[in-house]
Structures are given as structure tokens and as C-alpha cells.
Amino acid sequence: MKKITPYKTGMLVLALLVLFVSCKKDFLNRPPEDAITDGNYYTSTERMMAATAVLYNLVWFEYNDMPSYGIGDGRAGMMTTGGSFIPEDIRFTSTPVDRSVEQAWRSFFNIIGQSNTIRYGVETYASEAIPENMKTYAIAECRFMRGMAYYYLVQTFGAVPVIESNTALLTDTSLSRNTIPSVWRFAIRDLRFAAENLPATPYKPGRITKWSAEGMLAKAYLAYAGVMSNNSGTRVQQFLDSAAYFAKDVIQNSGATLMSDYKDLFLTRNNNNSESLFALQWQFNNPAQYGTQNDVQAFLAFESNTITGFGDGWGGDVGASKHVLEMYENGDKRRKATWFYPGEYYDWFRWKPNGGDVQNMIVPNRDVDASGGNNRAWVKKYIVGGPWDNNGEITFMGTGMNTYILRLADVYLAYAEAVLGNNASTNDGLALSSFNSIRARAGLNSVSSITWDALFKERWLELAMEGQAWYDLVRLYYYNKTKAFDIIKAQNRGDYYLVPNSNTNATAWTINARTDYYVTAVSDANFWLPIPAEELTKAPNLNKPPVEYP
């Protein structure tokens, strides 16, 4: 089988590599390696849609592997660490050679490269026998995924190069970064194309629709409203209105509904549920291709064997920050679905302690010293357990649990943020009903008005460990960097003891500080992640000031 010769620059390698393999799963069936570069491949709708299926998992793997939570949550102040796992993210000390930095950059540019390649293949080679509406669907999927990659890139690295065509890239010797506003405009163009050309119902479960694109447009316009404010302290109303428009359309017309029980969102049997608008689609075990599985459980489960049934489960050194634990109200059901507390009993999550029988979990209390408590609230969200509760579909470093990129609750909160806008508070009817439906599911009381602080807190607790918190801070930074910096500096990301009132069936806990850790130095200079060192070596123009993209 022929191979594509990779370009020498690391980023361009990722823009040009083809990573397709065969598999047996429904919409995840993929063409053989290099097939999408063959003009004879696109002979049917099924083959064409198999090509775009890779955009739902493999190209996202390196981002999902660690950066999704290391950057998306750890960098934001959601997590703490003993120092052996992702300390650079959590302690705000990232360098150009850190794993999360390199993985995020590679993954996002891989998404861009694959999207460009498949789009070119469809536009150039697709058979006349394929219906035009399906060709448009496939192209819109490519445009959506490319827009998503830039949505993340610009909020992670700041100014980055826009790559619209892989072919043009081969002859471009002056690749430069593009300005933050122009990268946002490019991403929004892609997402608008997707919204205008994707159908209202998916080709198959898990595929994106116009509602996926409109939901992401709402979030993109929220950010862009701040970008275009020149850090004035308020956001541009025109773009807030656009955000509200798209979010409202999703809320009122998509047919999506909240899952009734928050914890059920994170069970493998509920993949592609009524609340999911865009999620990465993983396979628990594809021996022909590493990188199509969700391996997050392997890194975040606090123990091996007992939780996963295999030798993975290396997350005992990380957990919730003291800062985020102190944000929860009494009775918030989301906390138990997000963080493991010592001594807590789960009648809906089972494990296999000490090699014994499968049983409901009582979270162990390690009694780390005389304080009598754990020094972590370990991660629960996306920890789905062993084969015994997942239809046998768990393996070493592999689950089939979808990764949410956008769900309806996020759109509810985006709408509330858009109509709140530059005001001190809002009592808009749809904003309140949406906001309160989220709180009701969490077991909390309704509110009669929404402020920015209340909305920010609700987003953090609703979407904790879903890779969203950092981007909430970026969105704030765009129009009020002082407030963003102050929030980061006020977070205690250090160690603490979490002491239960009982080692079995605990109902109350005391959080005692142990070793405080605050990010004392945050500025424009270190707010963005650095470009990977290897990229700067091979593409020195990336060191130059960014330029506008047309």
C-alpha cells in the first residue's frame, strides 16, 4: 500500500497524514489507509460518509488523551495535583516542550488537515451517483470540524496560522500566524457554512446536525463579542445578539431535551442521548487502530484493576481543587457525579475491591495522616467502571464513552450569557427557565434573576471536567482581562484534606487546607500556551508578529 511522504514541518505532517483504517462499527466504518487520496474511492454515499467518520474520533485522540482536561480544566483551576501528573497545566507553568502543549497543537492541526483533505476529495472525486445533498453534508462536516479546531486553537494558543488548503500549503514557504480576530472570523465562517448546510436530523446517530453548528456558533459569537471589544470591559452587542439568536433557535426548535438525571449523562449506554449535540464517538476496542478509543478513564481513575478491571487507573494523584469544591451548594447532585468523596456510598457505581466480588462502591478513605481524610476528591466524571457494568465493552486504556463537546445545558447557559450581555443581571423569561431547569436537575432552588457571577459558577459546576472551564476564562479575558487574572490568582489549587464523618455512608465532609498553592504570576505573557518548540524550529516565521487573514 502506498504511503504519503510527510512534509518536514511537524504541523504540516499532521495536516497531510492520512490515518484511516477499517473497522466494524456502524457509522465508524472507515476506508483503507490512503483511500481518500484515490480518485476512485468516492463511489457511493456510504464510502464518502465512511471517510468523514474519522473526524469524530481518531483525529481528536491526542487532545482527548490529556489536554482536554489538563488544559480545559486543570489550567482553569478546576484541579489539584501532587505533582506527578499534569502539574504544568494545573500550576500554570507550561513550557513549549510539555506533553499537553504538543498534543493539543498536533491534534487540532490534524483535524484541520484531515478536514481539508476529505473536503477536497469530495469536491474533486465524488461520483455523480452520490446525491448532491449528501455531498453537501460531507463538506459541511469537514467545515464544521475545521471550524471547531480553530475554535480551540485560538483560545489555547492565541494567534495561530490559518490553513485553508493543504495543497496551497505545500508551496507556501512563509507560513505565519494570523491575528486572533481574523482566526475567529475564519472559524465562524466555517461554522456558519455548517449551520446553513447540515440537515436538522443526523445521517446516523452521533453525526452532527445544523443544531450542532448553531450551538457552537452561539458560543463562538459570545467569544467574538469580547474579542472585538478591545478589552473595554463590555462586549459588542451585535455579536451578543447573534449568540442569543443561534442559542434560542437550538433551544426552541432542535427537539433536544435535558436528560432527567445528571449522572446518566456519563454512562456508556446513554451515548448520543437527547441532550447531546456534538460528542466525540469512541470505540472501546479496535485492535486495528490505536486512537479510536477513549482512554481518559485510564489516566483519571484513582485505582487500577478495582475500578477498570485492568491494569490502568493512574489518577490517584489528581482531583478537584479546593477552590471548586467550595463552590458547590449543599445538595448539588452534580458533585457526586463529578468527584469521589471518601466514605461515600454509590448504589449506581460498582467496583471490584481487593480482587473480590463486584459490589457497590464505598469510596475508600486512605487516612493519609492524623487528619483522618483523603488528600483528594478524585475524579468521577467519565469514570465508567469495568466491563461488568458496560456490556463487557471496556478494555485496558479503552472505553466507548462519548466525549461531550456540546450539550444542550451548555446552550442554555450560552443563551443566558448572551441576553445578560453587559447588564448587571437579567430576568429574561427563556434565560430563567433554561437556567432554572439546569438547577432543578441538580436538586437546587430556582432563582429570579441571573448575574454574571451566578452564571459563571453555574457553568463551572454543570460542565466541570468537560474541558470547558479554561475557555470560560478566555472568553472573559477577551473583554475584561483584569477580572480573568483576578479569578485565577484567587484560586487555591493546593493540597487539602477531605475528612468524612464516616468511612462508610458518609454524609458530611470537612475540607482542611494542607499546602496552599496560588498562581501569583499571570499576565498576557503566559496566558496563552506557548507554540511547541519543534514547530518554532521548523517554521521560524511562527515567531513573527501575526498578520490578518483575509
Cross-strand partners of 511: 498
Residue 237 lies in a domain: no
| Residue 354 near residue 388 (C-beta atoms within 8 A) | no
Residue 235 lies in a domain: no
Cα 327 to Cα 463: distance, rounded to the nearest angstrom: 13
Cα 94 to Cα 85: distance, rounded to the nearest angstrom: 13
Structural domain including 481 reads 407-493
Shared-domain flag, residues 22 and 153:
yes
Shared-domain flag, residues 418 and 324:
no
Q: Which positions ≥6 away from 121 have C-beta within 8 Å?
A: 36, 37, 41, 42, 51
Residue 4: what pLDDT?
A: 29
Per-residue tens of pLDDT for the chain, all 550 residues: 233 222 333 444 333 333 333 333 333 334 444 555 567 889 999 999 999 999 999 999 999 999 999 999 999 999 999 888 899 999 999 999 999 999 999 999 999 999 999 999 999 999 999 999 999 999 999 999 999 999 999 999 999 999 999 877 765 667 899 999 999 999 999 999 999 999 999 999 999 999 999 999 999 999 999 999 999 999 999 999 999 999 999 999 999 999 999 999 999 999 999 999 999 999 998 877 889 999 999 999 999 999 999 999 999 999 999 999 999 999 999 999 999 999 999 999 999 998 889 999 999 998 666 566 788 999 999 999 999 999 999 999 999 999 999 999 999 999 999 999 999 999 999 999 999 999 999 999 999 999 999 999 999 999 999 999 999 999 999 999 999 999 999 999 999 999 999 999 999 999 998 899 999 999 999 999 999 999 999 889 999 999 999 9
Angle at 446 between CA 443 and CA 450, to 5 degrees: 125
DSSP assignment letter at 519: -
| Residue 210 near residue 198 (C-beta atoms within 8 A) | yes
| Residue 155 near residue 127 (C-beta atoms within 8 A) | no
Burial class (CB in 10 A: 0-12, 13-18, 19+), 217: buried
- pLDDT tens digit string along 160-175? 999 999 877 765 667 8
Burial class (CB in 10 A: 0-12, 13-18, 19+), 498: buried
- pLDDT tens digit string along 11-52? 443 333 333 333 333 333 344 445 555 678 899 999 999 999
Shared-domain flag, residues 36 and 153:
yes
Residue 12: what pLDDT?
A: 40
| Residue 432 near residue 448 (C-beta atoms within 8 A) | yes
Shared-domain flag, residues 178 and 152:
yes
Grid cell, residue 113, equals 488537515
pTM (2 d.p.): 0.93
Phi, psi dihedrals of residue 26, rounded to the nearest 5°: -20, -105
Q: Which helix (H) or strand (E) holds 361?
A: strand 359-362
Cα 133 to Cα 128: distance, rounded to the nearest angstrom: 12
We report the CATH number of the domain holding residue 441 as 1.25.40.900
HEC string of 264-279 equals HHHCHHHCCCCCEEEE
The number of folded domains in the chain is 3
Cα 392 to Cα 385: distance, rounded to the nearest angstrom: 11
Shared-domain flag, residues 54 and 73:
yes
| Residue 406 near residue 272 (C-beta atoms within 8 A) | no
Largest separation between any pair of C-alpha atoms in the chain = 74
The alpha carbon dihedral of 223, 229, 235, 241 has a sign of negative
Shared-domain flag, residues 452 and 512:
no
Residue 371: what pLDDT?
A: 62
Residue 471 lies in a domain: yes
Tell me the chain's radius of gyration from C-alpha atoms.
23
| Residue 17 near residue 4 (C-beta atoms within 8 A) | yes
We report the CATH number of the domain holding residue 38 as 1.25.40.390
Grid cell, residue 61, equals 485522540
Tell me the C-alpha to C-alpha distance, in Å, between residue 476 and each of 227, 258, 340, 448, 514.
10, 26, 30, 24, 30
Cα 338 to Cα 294: distance, rounded to the nearest angstrom: 18
Residue 439 lies in a domain: yes
Q: Which residue has the cell 472551564?
A: 469
Shared-domain flag, residues 69 and 166:
yes
Collapsing DSSP to helix, strand or coil, 411 comes out as helix
DSSP assignment letter at 160: B
Cα 108 to Cα 92: distance, rounded to the nearest angstrom: 21
Residue 509 lies in a domain: yes
Collapsing DSSP to helix, strand or coil, 544 comes out as coil
Nearest CA to 323 among 373, 377, 371?
377
Shared-domain flag, residues 324 and 456:
no
Residue 354: what pLDDT?
A: 84
Residue 367 lies in a domain: yes
Residue 505: what pLDDT?
A: 94
| Residue 436 near residue 451 (C-beta atoms within 8 A) | no
Residue 310 lies in a domain: yes
Collapsing DSSP to helix, strand or coil, 293 comes out as coil
Grid cell, residue 217, equals 456558533
Cα 189 to Cα 195: distance, rounded to the nearest angstrom: 10
Cα 55 to Cα 144: distance, rounded to the nearest angstrom: 10
Shared-domain flag, residues 429 and 337:
no
Grid cell, residue 142, equals 469537514
Shared-domain flag, residues 474 and 508:
no
Q: Which helix (H) or strand (E) holds 513?
A: strand 509-515
Shared-domain flag, residues 88 and 135:
yes
Shared-domain flag, residues 445 and 389:
no
Residue 276 lies in a domain: no
